[in-house]
Amino acid sequence: MDTQFYNGKNHSYEDYPITDVLQMIGRANRPIEDADAKCVLMCQASKKDFFKKFLNESLPIESHLDHRLHDHFNAEVVTKTIENKQDAVDYLTWTFLYRRLTQNPNYYNLQGVTHRHLSDHLSELVENTLSDLEQSKCISIEDDMDTLPLNLGMIAAYYYINYTTIGMFAFASGLTQRTLEIISSAAEYEDIVVRHHEEGILRTLSQRLPNKLTGPNDSAPKFNDPHIKTNLLLQAHLCRLQLGPELQGDTEIILGKAIRLIQACVDVLSSNGWLSPAVAAMELAQMLLIATALVPDRQLMVVQLEREDEITGPVIAPFFLSPGRHDYTLYFMSDSYLGCDQEYKFSIDVGDFQSESESDSD
């Protein structure tokens, strides 16, 4: 087996992490069925001693909690495990990260291993993390100490969504027309692999899809971008296009994350009272589940009727309709179910206005 893979994000070949190599070697033996097994590791001669060292000796394990600390803190603030900054520092002292800080300080950019160095490092880590969460409207900080969860933070914790993604859902503009584009831009899709020479395949695929993508300032899209690839594969899924086995596997990974991302998006839109974007997001979820696209020119009109008082009488319609026949679909929606519970289609025939005198003379 090879020990390198093509990283589409950096456009270069990189070595497999040693942990992945150990995992692949471990699959050479089938438990219970095989008494022994052999694995052939093919690599460059210069790397032979390197792999022999790590295959025969113990491998040090380091913590990466500091790379994903925002989402952990957000979840703990929502569950009231962390209620102030001191609780956040205490929370870190019970983690594997705290144990490794003193064992390998250079790996975590520590200047020393004294109690003062550890305290300053943890305090700075907590301050920066909570400040980022506050700017993303996931939490609020009162009196520069106490932490309180906000609506966006609770939605992100419930659906296990990255805090940057939930912030993008809340502040994105024009969501009704660009629902698919915004879902594809989620941070959860940053790790989608763009393989070597796959840009040409994606460029050809984009020419067969209805929605054409553009880059910043209407420039040409970068097909080595994982978010562009995500958008194209979601469109291909809706159009039911036949893809190769590798792209089909990527599509399954993308769809596994898409539904909960859309569910979180619906909750954000509903919390802000935006009906049309919420319905558009629900329709996108339905389309992904059944792998089909709705009629492009389908529109939703919201008709609001209100009365002057509680007395039964004629209805005053401030947004009156033009004369003619109008076809509508009435949706009954519930936040406990993905999509619309019931749909009713009906038509309205609107005639020209006639005053009471005209109607009496007739």
Q: What is the pLDDT of residue 339?
A: 55
Q: 325: part of which helix (H) or strand (E)?
A: strand 324-333
Calpha distance 133→171 (Å, rounded): 15
Q: Where are the alpha helices (DSSP H) in the chain?
A: 18-26, 48-56, 69-78, 85-92, 96-103, 115-135, 151-159, 163-171, 179-184, 198-206, 226-239, 245-271, 275-290, 356-361
Helix 245-271 with 226-239: angle, nearest 10 deg: 90
Across the range 150-155, mean pLDDT stands at 92
| The one-letter amino acid at 260 | R
Helix 163-171 with 69-78: angle, nearest 10 deg: 80
For 23-63, the pLDDT digits (tens) are 887 777 777 787 888 888 888 888 888 888 777 777 678 88
Per the structure block, which two tokens stand in for 53? 């060292």
113, 100 contact by CB (below 8 A): no
For 281-323, the pLDDT digits (tens) are 888 888 888 776 544 444 443 444 444 445 454 444 444 567 7
Predicted confidence band of residue 177 (pLDDT cuts 50, 70, 90): very low
The answer for residues whose C-beta is within 8 angstroms of residue 321's C-beta and 6 or more apart is 303, 348, 350
Calpha distance 12→268 (Å, rounded): 38
pLDDT at 336 over 60: no
Most confidently predicted of 7-21, 146-160, 179-193: 146-160
Q: Judge if pTM exceeds 0.85.
A: no
CA distances from 254 to 55, 149, 192, 359 (A): 34, 29, 8, 62
The answer for residues whose C-beta is within 8 angstroms of residue 194's C-beta and 6 or more apart is 8, 9, 202, 223, 224, 225, 226, 229
Neighbouring CB atoms inside 10 A of 50's CB total 14
Three-state SS at 304: coil
Domains in the chain, CATH or no CATH each: 4-56 (no CATH), 65-149 (1.10.10.10), 163-290 (1.10.3380.10), 301-362 (no CATH)
Calpha distance 78→57 (Å, rounded): 42
